[in-house]
Amino acid sequence: MGTTTIATGRLLLRRWRAADREPFAALNADPAVMEHFPAPLTRGQSDALADRIEEGFEEHGIGLWAVEAGGAFIGFTGLSVPRFTAHFTPCVEIGWRLARSAWGHGYATEAARAALADGFGRAGLTEVVSFTAVSNLRSQAVMRRLGMTHDPAEDFDHPALSDDSPLRRHVLYRLRAPR
């Protein structure tokens, strides 16, 4: 894998530690953090997600980095390979999830820029996508700040969500590697 940490001006992106699981479970249980997901996660579901994140690093050489600000775990940002089928898969997705206390500081954009640089550089990716529920305007703003582009013709119904879910319709953004 090579890279084990990525530093920005204010943040450290690193591989996960056992001590991250408790604050990760707390943010995954926060209804505000999980507003654009089907439901908050239980501790068991959160731990299973942390396990899948670590497996992603091992399987793909990329992953969702644990993010620290001021030495404290605040969430994750990074790259993953979606496990569902859609018109744009297979692909690599950039995503983030931060504790509510970390919102409004530009951390998601800062960390995502660093993860994208690693993905386009070390990992040699040529394109990255991002997607979210239509209602998730905060994440869409991060996507635009990253320079990602949105074509409404590519929006889709997330196959893992029921037909009657208000979160089913998703927007898709794309970013090509710099030349």
SS3 assignment for 25-71: HHHHHCCCCCCCCCCCCCHHHHHHHHHHHHHHHHHHCCCEEEEEECC
Which of 29, 169, 163 is CA-nearest to residue 99?
29
What residues are paired with 14 via a beta bridge? 5, 66
pTM here is 0.94
Alpha carbon 165 to its chain's center = 21
Is 148 in a helix, a strand, or coil?
coil
Per-residue pLDDT tens listing for the chain (179 residues) = 456 899 999 999 999 999 999 999 999 999 999 999 999 999 999 999 999 999 999 999 999 999 999 999 999 999 999 999 999 999 999 999 999 999 999 999 999 999 999 999 999 999 999 999 999 999 999 999 999 999 999 999 999 999 999 999 999 999 999 98
Question: CA–CA separation, 62 vs 57, rounded Å?
Answer: 5
In degrees and rounded to multiples of 5, residue 160 shows phi and psi of -90, -5
* CB of 93 closer than 8 Å to CB of 115: no
Pairing of strands 127-133, 149-150: unpaired
